[in-house]
């Protein structure tokens, strides 16, 4: 697929006010703070991974191919969801000069438009990748990660437009999609996985990583942390021969 084109803003001031704020909770500041933390977790190493935040109609996201842990608020792109008529030709309110928007943009947009998410995190966590590799091999050979009877499962919401969190005995299910040579070509299968598993807050990408979202930055971050904990646990359980599903009731 040809790379998605985008229009540079015509405004010569480039709308710096959209990303400059003394408020640490402003999306442009938060993306930088979070990516710096995620780097130390191994989630955004070597320019991979990223984070995007939606504030009502405005979406904030990173440039492509930059060291995500070193970004500054002035590096952040901003777009208005209402202005997007053609996903192949995105219109940006603010675009830093000499950079391109993240290749993850259409995947982040799927979380915002199909699930009304307020934040979407993409990690290249080795635990996530290892789980997809384990699921790829026999006897598992499946495209769904399932685990139950682990306390950390209670860190997940029940699903889209549902109140409350999963319980200890509930089974957490995370679908797996196949990787593609270009990140943006993952969009169709990510959207299909969202349709097939309407309550999921995350999709694993085989041999690549994870997309995880939430209604708020807080929920996206804590669900990302809970998942990474569970993926690491699952890898260790597999090494010890302990099944991920148990019938304890
Ligand atoms: C290590 S390169 C990784 C990229 O190809 C991609 O998978 C990714 O997660 C980041 O894309 P980017 O366009 O830099 O935001
Ligand atoms: Zn990636």
pLDDT digits (tens, 9 = 90+) for 148-184: 999 999 999 999 999 999 999 999 999 999 999 999 9
Instruction: Work out the mean pLDDT of the chain and round it to a whole number.
Output: 94
Chain centre to alpha carbon of residue 157: 16
Range of the domain at 143: 5-240
Choose the catalytic residue: 69, 74, 136, 151: 151
Residue 212: inside a domain: yes
- In this structure, the residue with its CA closest to atom 3 of ligand 1 is 48
151 among known catalytic residues: yes
pLDDT over 90 percentage in the chain: 88
Cβ-proximal residues to 67 (8 Å cutoff; 6+ apart), any chain: 47
Binding-site residues for substrate: 104
**pTM higher than 0.90:** yes
Q: State the pLDDT at residue 12.
A: 44
Residue 141: inside a domain: yes
Q: State the pLDDT at residue 2.
A: 47
The tally of domains found in the chain comes to 1
**Short-list 98, 114, 93, 92, CA closest to 190:** 114
ipTM of model: 0.98
C-alpha 65 to ligand 1 mean position (Å): 6
Residue 32: inside a domain: yes
Alpha-carbon torsion (184, 44, 211, 118), positive or negative: negative
Residue 248: inside a domain: no
Residue 185: inside a domain: yes
Residue 88: inside a domain: yes
Residue 223: inside a domain: yes
Return the ligand 1 atom nearest residue 46 CA: 1
CATH number at residue 177: 3.40.225.10
pLDDT over 70 percentage in the chain: 95
Which residue from 52, 76, 103, 180 has its CB within 8 A of the most atoms of ligand 1, so it is best to mutate?
Answer: 103
pLDDT digits (tens, 9 = 90+) for 54-64: 999 999 999 99
Cβ-proximal residues to 228 (8 Å cutoff; 6+ apart), any chain: 41, 43, 123, 125, 127, 128
User: Which residues have CB under 6 Å of ligand 1?
Assistant: 46-50, 62, 64-65, 102-104, 122, 183
pLDDT digits (tens, 9 = 90+) for 86-95: 988 999 999 9
Residue 144: inside a domain: yes
Binding-site residues: 104, 122, 124, 208
């Amino acid at each position: 697929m040809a790379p998605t084109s985008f229009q540079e803003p015509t405004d010569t001031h480039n709308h710096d006010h959209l990303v400059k704020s003394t408020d640490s909770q402003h999306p442009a500041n938060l993306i930088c703070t979070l990516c710096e933390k995620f780097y130390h977790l191994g989630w955004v190493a070597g320019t991979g991974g990223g984070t995007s935040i939606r504030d009502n109609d405005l979406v904030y996201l990173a440039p492509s191919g930059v060291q995500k842990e070193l970004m500054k608020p002035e590096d952040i792109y901003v777009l208005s969801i209402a202005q997007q008529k053609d996903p192949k030709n995105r219109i940006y309110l603010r675009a830093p000069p000499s950079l391109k928007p993240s290749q993850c943009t259409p995947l982040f947009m799927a979380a915002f438009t199909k699930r009304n998410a307020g934040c979407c995190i993409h990690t290249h966590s080795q635990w996530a990748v290892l789980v997809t590799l384990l699921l790829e091999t026999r006897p598992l050979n499946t495209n769904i990660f399932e685990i139950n009877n682990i306390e950390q499962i209670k860190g997940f919401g029940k699903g889209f437009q549902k109140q409350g969190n999963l319980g200890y005995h509930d089974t957490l299910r995370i679908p797996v999609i196949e990787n593609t040579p270009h990140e943006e070509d993952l969009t169709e299968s990510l959207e299909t996985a969202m349709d097939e598993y309407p309550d999921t807050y995350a999709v694993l990408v085989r041999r690549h990583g994870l997309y995880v979202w939430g209604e708020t930055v807080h929920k996206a971050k804590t669900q990302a942390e809970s998942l990474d904990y569970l993926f690491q646990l699952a890898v260790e359980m597999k090494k010890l021969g302990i099944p991920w599903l148990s019938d304890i009731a």
